Every structure is written in C-alpha cells, then in structure tokens.
Amino acid sequence: MTTHRTGESYDVIIIGAGPAGIFSGLELARGRNGQIRVAIIEKGPDIDARICPSTEGRSACRRCDPCSVVSGWGGAGAFSDGKLTLSTQVGGMLDVYTGEAKLRELIGYVDRVYLDFGAPTQVWGEDEEAIHELDRKAILAELKLIPAPIRHLGTGKTKKILEGMKEELRRSADIILGESAEEILVEDNKVAGVLTSKGRVIRGSYVIAAPGRDGAEWLSEEAHRLGLSMAINPVDIGVRVELPAVVAEPLTDVSYESKLVYHSRSFDDKVRTFCMCPYGQVVTESSDGLITVNGHTHSEKKTENTNFALLVSKTFTEPFNDPIAYGKYVAGLANLLGNGVIVQRLGDLINGRRSIRERIAKGTVIPTLKDATPGDLSLVFPYRHLVSIMEMLKALDAVAPGIYSRNTLLYGVEVKFYSSRLSVTRVLETQVGNLFAIGDGAGVTRGLMQASASGVVAAREILTRLDKM
C-alpha cells in the first residue's frame, strides 16, 4: 500500500499558475480582508527560471519536461506576446456560461487589473474607418472579419506584469512551484484536496483546476477517472505562417491581430487566423515529448517578419472521441519526419517538392526559427487540412497581396490542446461539489482575456459561499 504524506490544509487550492489560476488567486486575495488560506500549485518553475535555449537561438529544442515555454509561473501566456483581446466574440466560449453582458463586464474588470499592473494604455483596432475598409476587402475574399480591439503587452512587458502579480499573491497565498497535482481527491462527491507528484496530500475545501493547455490531457484523464461528463470541442491543427512584415501591414496596421475566418470551398471546414505576431519570432513548444510551433512578439526586440497561425477546426463524432490524441498524432508525424518542427516554402509545397535550406536561403523570408527542418508538409497533414489551408492563404492574399507568395514560409505543426470541455455550471463548477474547472485547460476559454475572466468567475462564487458560512 502506498503511503502519502499529509500536508497543510487550505480553504482553496488552485491547480495551475497561468492567467486563469493567477486571477483566481488575486480575486480571492482581495476578498475577506485577505484572510482566505490559498495554495497555488504549479508544476513548472518560477518565471525567472523559465529559460528556453531554443527560443533564444542557443540550441535546438531539448524536449524539457516540463517545457519552460508552456509551464511555470504565468503559464503559456508568460512566453506569449501578451495580446489582451477586448471582445466577447473571440477567445473562448465563456459567454455560454455567463451571458454576453456579464462577460463584457468581466473583460472590462480584468483589463483594469492588467492596467493596474502596468499594461500599456494603447489599444489597437479602434479606427472604425480602417476597420470598415478591411472588412469590405475581407467580404470580397469570402473572409469574415471579427473586430477585436487588442491591448498588446509584448513578451517583456508580460513578464513584468506577471512578476508583479506574483509579488502581490505571495503576501496572502502559498505558491508551490515544481510540484504537480497528480490526483484530485473527492469524498462523498465533494472535493477534498489534491495528491501531488511528491506524494503529499494537501487538503482543501475548494479546488480550482486551471491547468492550462499543457494540462488539458491530465484534466481530461482526471475527469474520466472521477466520472465527470465531458463535451468534445473541435481540435485546431494547422501551420504557422511567416512572411515579411511589410506584406502583413494591411492587416497588422489596422488591428494588430486580425481575426479572420474562412470556410473552405472544398470541405466547408472552418479555418481561422490566430496569434498574429507583427515583427515577431517563430518559436517551439514541447508537450509530452512532442515539439510544436508557436509565435511571439517582443515589445523591445523586433524582427523583419510577421508570423501567424492558420488553424483548421475539426469536430469528431462517434465512435472517435479523443481529439487530443488526434492532434498529437499529426504533430508526431512532423516530429518523426523532421525531428521536430518542419518548415517549407509555399512555392515548394505548391510544386510538390520538399524544401531544402538552399532554396529557402534564396527567398525573401529569413526564418526566425533556425532549428526547423526543411521538409514536406504534404506528408504530415491530412489532405482536407492542407487544401483548406491553401484556400485560406489565397483568400488572405486578396486582402494583403504577397501572402500567397512562393517565398512565404509554413511551419508545422501548430496544435492547440484544449479539445475536451468539462460539463460545468454557470459558475464553472463541475459535477463534484466545490470543484471548479476554468481556463484553456478546461476547454471553456482560448486566450489570455477569457482565461483571466474565468478565474474571476470561480473565485467570486467561492467568496460568496465562504461569506455564507
């Protein structure tokens, strides 16, 4: 029989120190005069120790476990370029639970908190005339533009803001880093605490599960073990596009991150732009030994390129119900063929040949991800995904000429592992009493702003219940 060491007891245990978990902690810390006992458990390191040699160009991805890019204080958002989307229309489906009016109020509240911690005052995408003209061009290209004002933090500013939040939380919460939650403990259908990777049993009256994208599979497995109902979200799989920044300026000068949606003519599959990074850098992430691709924009350090993701959404029906495994399978093909991320010139893909370093070097786009392997993405993606991506690139070229250029670089694979959504109430409580599931890992949000807002929702409900005791 395994013996577990009993740790301390808390009012609230928060699993995950990404934006959802951090905002839960901040809201709890500011309630009841800071008298609530809170523990935040995060499997990754402190933010200052989150160093990735591959993103700094010093070496190829080492497949660190946990990956410093997606795990640690600040979550995956700490190494993103910090785009706060001030719209209810993108970033998740929190409005399904709160209603649109309440979500709008939550976004405004969360935005003010970010401002208090030093977020810049400038907001992109508020020029109505420019937005109208971009929308007109998008419609003619069979694209749908989703207007979304954005407050851009930049990677450097994001880190400083997260450090400030950590310092405030240290005064009222126990922050446990480098230790993961292995199991959620339940007694009489009510949450009782957490068993950690170090064999500790930490008791808690309430548990907020906010494991982020990197913890989505763990949360799905825990939900299955506990008999919780799950809804299957679409899985988003695609490429990261890199091109000269001047080519993307018709998009980025108007709204910084243009949210554009296309439905392919061939298959009617939804394709969308995601995480547009003007003058940014393509980077890698590691999750369970798989290397995938992402993008950043630094507030201080600029490149000559812009990058963004094109993601194809696919919903599965019976009998298959494991979209996370499907996404990992596709990413695994790229890792198998390229020993990591594959990069290909669009012209080579069109001509049915793999890319080689010499042809890439002749082009107009200098890759910012130096350790990507030139290869052939047609050997990786399913046919319908590849066709949908190519159609989307042609449509975008009508809005920003030059996107569908032979020199445009495509990196694969980019996958978003937030494909399983727990069945939760309007306050994000699961079928287990006092167990809340929030953020990207729970499948209810898909970005910094709504993830942060979901943390506020859960914390406020807990505060209400504690006040009634």
10 and 61 assigned to the same domain: yes
Last residue of a domain, one of 377, 398, 416: 416
> Phi, psi at residue 128, to the nearest 5°?
-60, -35
267 and 343 assigned to the same domain: yes
CA 463 vs CA 29, 35, 436: distances in Å: 10, 11, 13
321 and 258 assigned to the same domain: yes
Prediction pTM value: 0.85
14 and 77 assigned to the same domain: yes
What is the SS3 string spanning the chain?
Answer: CCCCEEEEEEEEEEECCCHHHHHHHHHHHCCHHHCCCEEEEECCCCHHHCCCCCCCCCCCCCCCCCCCCCCCCCHHHHHCCCEEECCCCCCECCHHHHCHHHHHHHHHHHHHHHHHCCCCCCCECCCHHHHHHHHHHHHHCCCEECCCCEEECCHHHHHHHHHHHHHHHHCCEEEEECCCEEEEEEECCEEEEEEECCCEEEEEEEEEECCCHHHHHHHHHHHHHHCCCEEECCEEEEEEEEEEHHHHHHHHHHHCCCCEEEECCCCCCEEEEEEEECCCEEEEEEECCEEEEEEECCCCCCCCEEEEEEEEEECCCCCCCCHHHHHHHHHHHHHHHHCCCEEEEHHHHHCCCCCCHHHHHHCCCCCCCCCCEECCHHHCCCHHHHHHHHHHHHHHHHHCCCCCCCCCEEEEEEEECCCEEECCCCCCECCCECEEECCHHHCCECCHHHHHHHHHHHHHHHHHHHHCC
Last residue of a domain, one of 416, 431, 449: 416
325 and 447 assigned to the same domain: no
Q: How many domains does the structure of the chain reveal?
A: 2
Rounded CA separation 24/9 (Å): 18
275 and 182 assigned to the same domain: no
The widest CA-to-CA distance across the chain, in whole angstroms, is: 70
109 and 94 assigned to the same domain: yes
Q: Which two tokens stand for residue 58?
A: 């010093």
Q: Taking the CA atoms of the chain, what radius of gyration do you get in angstroms?
A: 22
198 and 239 assigned to the same domain: no
Domain that holds residue 210: 5-82+87-122+153-231+421-467
Rounded CA separation 298/156 (Å): 6
Mean pLDDT for each consecutive 10-residue tract of the chain (469 residues)? 62 96 96 87 87 60 69 75 88 94 98 96 92 96 94 84 95 94 97 96 97 89 93 86 97 91 96 93 86 84 94 84 85 94 98 96 95 97 97 98 98 80 94 96 91 98 92
Residue 20 is part of a domain; what is its CATH number? Answer: 3.50.50.60
341 and 441 assigned to the same domain: no
Q: What is the pLDDT of residue 235?
A: 82
247 and 322 assigned to the same domain: yes
338 and 194 assigned to the same domain: no
244 and 315 assigned to the same domain: yes
Q: What is the pLDDT of residue 270?
A: 96
CA 411 vs CA 48, 110, 151, 201: distances in Å: 29, 33, 27, 43
